[in-house]
Each structure stands twice: as structure tokens, then as C-alpha cells.
Amino acid sequence: MAANLQQLVAGAPKAELHMHIEGSLEPELMFELAAKNAVSIPYPTVDAVRAAYQFSDLQSFLDIYYAGAAVLLHEEDFYAMTRAYLERAHADNVVHTEIFFDPQTHTARGVPFQVVVEGITRALAEAQRRYGMGYRLILCFLRHLSEADAFATLEQAVPHLGLIHGVGLDSSERGHPPSKFERVFARARELGLRVVAHAGEEGPPAYIYEALDLLKVERIDHGVRALEDAALVARLAASRMPLTVCPLSNVKLCVFPRLAEHNLRRLLAAGLCATVNSDDPAYFGGYINENFRQTAAALDLTRDELYRLLKNGFEAAFLTDAERAQHYAALDGYWQSL
Ligand code: HPA
Ligand code: ZN
């Protein structure tokens, strides 16, 4: 990719829609919190932690990701982690971010739900004041746990619905189809929450159909396996159903063997509303600009394709029409000026 195109994308205002806040916990902060909270971690150094980030599939990552989250105990820990992500995002010109959090990872260790939500939200509100960054907070249910556990988590969220905008579904995909959470998602929609779900990362196209038809999601997280099913692609394209694609994640978790073989360009060519996101940037080797940079280089994306990816981010975001119009205008003004 030409250096000027790379700079153009790096400087562009962008939305990030698929980022697990626990996946932004860098090893340096993990060590700091481990020492402060007297939690032991099974690695002697920060470098040893980073060296352990070699994954063969989603589960091999999740095992390490949940272990790392054990250092988070207090409100200020969740605040510090979220603040660090937001500073990185701001440096990448993210102007609107919709972040996931996994409350069950923390409540299972005895950390109160409220501590998690308040620490994360304090950092989000501060970034809004400081940088004008917009945000939404999305509660993800861990799909390897039971429906009853998800229901209990949703009930814990009820007193905090002013701070939580939507629900999602993450963790081990294979063997845990969206249908397992049909009733939980119906209840979430009744409560006025927006709904998304991870589907078609490792799981088959059938899981994407279930997310659409049973959970009634408004976005598919990942969804890259949709391309295996032409009828599904046609349906996703006709409805402009967004896919929040995470290219570096997909390579790290062996969904694609190399970035050059990623299907992002084919998703766009099929008319899909694909977006670029970082997923778990502390684990997968880069924040959103690094995802754009490496993917654009590996796939030789054109200026027009990069513009569409950026614009799709705002199209797919949970914004009001007025907010969306402002973001489109800012993006277009920036893009045309250079
Ligand atoms: N997939 C499923 N669960 C996750 C992921 C992911 O990419 N990241 C964090 N939890
Ligand atoms: Zn994810």
C-alpha cells in the first residue's frame, strides 16, 4: 500500500464496533495489577506473557484470556484498563467506540457486577469529555456457560440499564449455537437493549442464520464464514446486515492461515457491510489502525475499498440519525481534503 494511503487511513475518523475490553489488557498493566492485588500469574516476565500468545484456535486463546482477567478486582482496575484502551483508540482517531465486556468472567470470581460496570463507564465518560469520543457499552454472555447463568447475568444488569446499551454473545463458538440463548435475547430485546452476536468465526453459516432468525441480531460479529453460503451472502447484502470483521484476530486464531488469504475484500465485493475492528488488541498484535494497515497491505485494498470500510463502521454503529450524519460529513470532509 502506498505510504500516503496508509497515512490517509490512519488519520481518518473511525468507529470501532468489536473490541472486548478484557482483550485490551496489555501485559504491562496485567503485571502491575497482579502485584497491586497480590494475584499470581503463571509467567515470570512481561516478555514471557507475550511469548505465550501463540494460539492454535479460539479456545487456546480464551484459556489465556480468562486467566489474564483474574488480575482485575477493583473499580479502579477496570477504569485503568478501559482508560488505556481509550487512549490507544484516540491515538488511532477512533471517534466512536462500542465495547464489549464479559461480566461473568468477573462475577464468577466474586467481583460485583456494579464494580465492573462503574469502572468501565467512568473511563468511557471521561474519554467523551476529554476527546469527544462517543461510546456504547455491550454486555456479552459467555456462550460456554448455561442459559440460566446468562439469565442471572441479565437480571444483574437491570439496575444498570442506563449504562448498558446492548447485549452480545462471545466465548467458545463450536457446540454453543445461538439457539441456546434464544430466550435470553428475547428478554434483552424486551428490556430495550440492542442485540449482536459472534457467529461464523469458527462456527458454520448455520450459526449465522440462527443469530439472525432466533436472536434477531442487528449485527454479526466476525461472520467471515458467511461466504461459504451464497444464499446467506445474498440475504446479508440485501439487508445491509453489518459484519464486524477482525482481520488480525482471524489470523492469530487460525481462521485464515495468512492475512493475504483473508476474505475481507471478497466480503466487500459481495456487497456486504463489512467493518474493520481489533477484537482483542493486546493479544492479537494491534489496535484498529494496525488492523487497517496490515490488511490493506496484505490485500492491496484500494482507496475506495478503504473508504467503504470506514464508512461502513459508522453505518453499522448504534448511532442516532443525526450523529451518523455528522460522522459521515466529518469522514467525507477529511477524505476529500486529502
Ligand atoms: N470470539 C469469541 N469470544 C471472544 C473473542 C472472539 O474473537 N474475543 C474475546 N472473546
Ligand atoms: Zn470478538
pTM above 0.85, yes or no: yes
Domain count within the chain: 1
pLDDT band at 59 (very low <50, low <70, confident <90, very high): very high
State the average pLDDT over residues 105-117.
98
Q: Which atom of ligand 1 is nearest to the CA of 22?
A: 9
323 within 8 A of 309, measured Cβ to Cβ: no
At 102, give phi and psi (nearest 5°).
-115, 80
**Would you please indicate which residues are annotated as catalytic (active-site) residues?**
201
Q: Does residue 58 register a pLDDT over 90? A: yes
Residue 3's pLDDT is 73
**Chain-wide mean pLDDT for the chain?**
97
Which CATH number goes with the domain that contains 149? Answer: 3.20.20.140
Residue 326's pLDDT is 98
Could you give the dihedral angle defined by the CA atoms of residues 139, 330, 275 and 106, in that order, rounded to the nearest 10 degrees? -20
Q: What is the DSSP string of 51-98?
A: HT---SSHHHHHHHHHHHGGG--SHHHHHHHHHHHHHHHHHTTEEEEE
pLDDT digits (tens, 9 = 90+) for 246-273: 999 999 999 999 999 999 999 999 999 9
Buried b (16+ CB within 10 A) or exposed e, 154-163: bebbeebeeb
Grid cell for residue 57: 484456535
What spacing in Å lies between the alpha carbon of 327 and ligand 2's midpoint?
A: 24
What spacing in Å lies between the alpha carbon of 169 and ligand 2's midpoint?
A: 9
CB-ligand 1 contact for 202 (6 Å cutoff): no
CB-ligand 1 contact for 198 (6 Å cutoff): yes
What spacing in Å lies between the alpha carbon of 338 and ligand 2's midpoint?
A: 33
Q: Does residue 336 register a pLDDT over 90? A: yes
Q: Which domain holds residue 131?
A: 3-337
Residue 1's pLDDT is 64
197 within 8 A of 220, measured Cβ to Cβ: yes
CB-ligand 1 contact for 23 (6 Å cutoff): yes
User: In a mutational test of the pocket of ligand 1, which residue from 58, 140, 243, 254 has the highest number of ligand atoms less than 8 Å from its CB?
Assistant: 58
pLDDT digits (tens, 9 = 90+) for 176-203: 999 999 999 999 999 999 999 999 999 9
